[in-house]
Each structure stands twice: as structure tokens, then as C-alpha cells.
């Protein structure tokens, strides 16, 4: 057993604590900035604009949204600095993380000349990335100012593309990719990151926003029903993108199913898969049980049940998803290397059959999501059989 353990662990190096903290912190920063701004733009803002006669509720949610966006900017700025220091610590022969925090060390890293064959210096790309990061963070942090909160829409919608650009610029290679597979690796990696942070960040943002329920009116359930409905569609798209890109990345780094438990890298992938599946299961509870009940309460104009479902029951499940999402982010820093290299398997090589299987899986996934939406709609139209099926007492 000991020999098996040593063989499985060969080639895997556990990242140092500073690496774990800086990488997890960086993704938390992206989750806050990207997830919050995308969710505001796609779910909260349209619901607030469509709401009529609820000036008090929209004002409360607007203030809370501005506050959360401002703090997201602070987290992004701090996380970005430590992430940059982490890059400095890993560059070249490496150096202690404490030394890498020095501005002089960071300046030397950013101004280093381009490597042979590179079209641009790697440091130059990081200069651009961090300049955009500072601009995005400053745009969000401005929302701490009461005068700036009057321009919440403009600032949030400005910070959204800037926040997305932070991760996209970092993915630009300093040297041209060798083949199409390398390009696909970059594309799927960014799809995975972006969709994941929107999913987790949106859940965290909306869950935090529901804590203002004590300041909302009795009719706020209708507003929140609209918010949850809109975000459910966003989350469904994100889940599809996470699964599609995750399939590619898993195939790229894991050569056989058995490598999920016989290699260290594979074990962390397996843990991540299980956490994501648990998030999807919690989302299924919302989609197949809570959303139909919310829709029926809305159709029956049952404001009491609507308020209870949207601001009591729904957030409880969402907080569980948030906890699972944070666990996923905590696992990400440990995904270093490849199960294929640990197990001595050949590197992944794409061909026509791989793309054909991938296309079939994507079509199957799309069909399953279509069935999910249709089933949820059918459940919402079903007439409840219980005498108090949508009352708070029955929840």
C-alpha cells in the first residue's frame, strides 16, 4: 500500500501555503467582481427596472448592491496584488514570497525583457492586466461614495467588462500557441473560469442581498421572484459552460477514470467534481421544487407565500450552494500538474473522434437543460393538490 501511495504521488508537488492562499484569493476576487457585476446586469437591474410601485424596496436593494460592489472592488484589488507577488515568487529560480511582495521586485519582474521567440514580454501583459484590474477595482470602490451611488448602473456596467478583461488578458500567451489544441486549451480554460465565477459569485451576491429582507415591504416577494427567475437562466447557462469546458480539461489532464483515485492530481479533480455535482443537486432543488412553487404563488397573487419562499426558503438552499462553491475555489490551487504525467500516461491528443464525442456530449447536455426548463415550467403550471400547498405553513 505504501509503495502504491508513493507511486501515485510521484510527480505531484503540494503547493506552498502562500501559493494556495494567493491563488484561491485571486479567484475569490474574480468571483466577487465578475459574478456580482454580471448578476447585477442580467438579473437584479432588469428586475428593479421592471418593478413598479415599489420605490422603497428598489432603493434598499440599490443601496445594498452598491455596498457589495464596492467591497468586491476592495477584495479584487488586494487579491490582485498578492496574486502578482505570487507570480514574482514563482518566476525564474523563484524567491521567498515575502521578498516578492517588495515593489522593487515586482517592478523588475514587470520590466523584464521578452523571452526568445515571444511576440511580447510576459511582464508587459501583466502590466496591462493589472492596470485594468486597478481600474476595475477603482470603479467599484467609488461606490462607497454616496454621490457615486447615484450612478450605480453606469459604474457597475463599466466595471463588468473591465473585470472580465482581467482574466482574459492574463490568458494571452506571450508566445504563439503551437497548434489548435493549445488554442482550445486556452479557450476552454477561460470559459471554465468565467462561467464558474459568475455562477458562484452570483449565488453569493444574491444570498447576501436577501439579508436585507427585514427592510423590505410585504410585496417584495414579487420583485425577488423575478430576480430568482432571471438568475436561474444565467446559472443554467453557467452550469452548461462549466460542464462542457470541464469535460475538455478533465480529458486533457486525466488519461483514465482510475487516475481519479490513483493519482494525487486526480483525487483533487474528483473532489472538485463531487462538489460541483452537489452544487448542481442543490440547484435542482431550486429548479424543480422551489421555482415552480414560487411561480404558482405568483400566479395566485399569494404575497405572503411568495415573500416566504423567495426570501426564506430559496436563500437557505443558495447559502448551501455558496459554501460548496467556496470549497471548489479552495480546491483549485491544488490542481497543479497532470494525472497523466503522474501515471505515466501519454499526453492527450485530439482528433476527429474526440471532437465527435465532445459534440455528442454537448448536444446531450443541451437537450437535458432544455428538458430541465420545460419540466420546471410544467411543474409551475400544475395545480397544487394540497389545501395549503403554497402557504408558509406548508413550507
The dihedral formed by the CA atoms of 281, 287, 290 and 296, expressed in degrees to the nearest 10? -160
CA-based nearest residue to 238, from 65, 39, 26, 69: 39
- Whether the predicted pLDDT of 202 surpasses 90: yes
Q: How far is CA 273 from the centre of its chain?
A: 15
Q: What is the pLDDT of residue 361?
A: 67
The answer to whether 148 touches 155, Cβ cutoff 8 Å, is: yes
| Domain boundaries along the sequence of the chain | 2-394
In this structure, is the dihedral angle defined by the CA atoms of residues 64, 68, 74 and 77, taken in order, positive or negative? negative
Of residues 150 and 394, the one with the higher pLDDT is: 150
Q: What is the pLDDT of residue 388?
A: 41
pLDDT digits (tens, 9 = 90+) for 97-132: 999 999 999 999 999 998 888 889 999 999 999 999
The answer to whether 51 touches 57, Cβ cutoff 8 Å, is: yes
Buried b (16+ CB within 10 A) or exposed e, 74-86: ebbbebbbbbbbb
What is the band of 159 on the pLDDT scale with cuts at 50, 70, 90?
very high
The answer to whether 39 touches 231, Cβ cutoff 8 Å, is: yes
CA-based nearest residue to 169, from 199, 198, 135: 135
Q: Classify residue 54 by burial, with Cβ atoms within 10 Å: 0-12, 13-18, 19+.
A: middle
The answer to whether 285 touches 297, Cβ cutoff 8 Å, is: no
Q: How far is CA 221 from the centre of its chain?
A: 26
Residue 301 is classified by DSSP as T
Cα separation of 248 and 345, whole Å? 17
pLDDT digits (tens, 9 = 90+) for 305-323: 888 888 888 888 999 999 9
Cα separation of 22 and 341, whole Å? 25
User: Mean pLDDT score of the chain, rounded to an integer?
Assistant: 85
Find the mean pLDDT for residues 363-374.
66
- The reported pTM is 0.87
Of residues 367 and 263, the one with the higher pLDDT is: 263
What is the band of 7 on the pLDDT scale with cuts at 50, 70, 90?
very low
CA-based nearest residue to 192, from 332, 82, 12, 26: 332
Q: What is the pLDDT of residue 295?
A: 81
Task: State the first-to-last Cα distance of the chain, in angstroms, to the nearest integer.
Answer: 50
Amino acid at each position: 500500500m505504501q509503495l502504491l501511495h508513493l507511486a501515485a504521488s510521484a510527480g505531484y508537488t503540494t503547493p506552498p501555503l502562500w501559493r494556495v492562499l494567493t491563488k484561491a484569493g485571486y479567484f475569490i476576487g474574480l468571483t466577487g467582481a465578475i459574478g456580482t457585476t454580471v448578476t447585477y446586469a442580467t438579473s437584479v437591474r432588469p428586475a428593479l427596472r421592471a418593478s413598479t410601485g415599489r420605490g422603497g424596496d428598489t432603493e434598499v436593494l440599490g443601496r445594498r448592491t452598491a455596498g457589495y460592489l464596492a467591497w468586491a472592488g476592495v477584495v479584487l484589488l488586494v487579491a490582485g496584488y498578492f496574486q502578482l507577488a505570487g507570480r514574482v515568487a514563482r518566476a525564474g529560480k523563484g524567491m521567498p514570497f515575502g521578498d516578492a511582495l517588495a515593489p522593487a521586485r515586482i517592478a523588475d519582474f514587470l520590466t523584464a525583457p521578452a523571452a526568445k521567440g515571444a511576440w511580447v514580454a510576459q511582464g508587459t501583459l501583466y502590466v496591462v492586466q493589472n492596470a485594468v484590474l486597478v481600474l476595475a477595482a477603482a470603479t467599484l470602490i467609488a461606490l462607497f461614495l454616496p454621490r457615486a451611488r447615484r450612478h450605480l448602473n453606469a459604474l457597475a456596467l463599466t466595471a463588468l467588462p473591465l473585470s472580465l478583461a482581467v482574466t482574459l488578458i492574463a490568458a494571452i500567451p506571450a508566445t504563439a500557441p503551437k497548434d489548435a489544441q493549445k488554442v482550445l486549451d486556452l479557450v476552454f480554460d477561460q470559459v471554465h473560469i468565467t462561467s464558474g465565477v459568475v455562477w458562484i459569485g452570483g449565488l453569493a451576491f444574491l444570498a447576501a442581498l436577501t439579508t436585507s429582507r427585514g427592510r423590505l415591504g410585504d410585496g417584495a416577494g414579487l420583485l425577488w421572484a423575478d430576480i430568482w427567475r432571471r438568475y436561474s437562466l444565467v446559472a443554467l447557462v453557467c452550469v452548461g459552460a462549466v460542464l462542457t469546458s470541464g469535460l475538455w480539461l478533465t480529458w486533457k489532464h486525466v488519461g483514465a477514470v482510475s487516475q481519479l483515485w490513483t493519482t494525487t492530481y486526480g483525487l483533487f479533480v474528483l473532489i472538485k467534481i463531487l462538489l460541483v455535482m452537489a452544487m448542481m443537486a442543490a440547484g435542482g432543488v431550486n429548479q424543480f421544487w422551489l421555482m415552480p412553487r414560487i411561480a404558482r404563488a405568483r400566479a395566485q397573487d399569494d404575497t405572503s407565500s411568495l415573500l416566504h419562499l423567495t426570501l426564506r426558503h430559496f436563500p437557505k438552499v443558495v447559502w448551501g450552494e455558496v459554501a460548496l462553491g467556496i470549497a471548489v475555489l479552495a480546491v483549485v490551487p491544488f490542481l497543479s500538474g497532470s494525472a497523466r504525467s503522474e501515471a505515466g500516461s501519454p499526453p492527450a491528443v485530439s482528433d476527429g473522434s474526440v471532437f465527435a464525442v465532445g459534440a455528442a456530449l454537448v448536444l446531450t447536455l443541451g437537450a437535458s437543460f432544455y428538458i430541465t426548463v420545460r419540466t420546471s415550467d410544467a411543474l409551475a403550471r400544475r395545480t397544487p393538490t394540497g389545501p395549503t400547498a403554497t402557504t408558509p405553513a406548508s413550507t
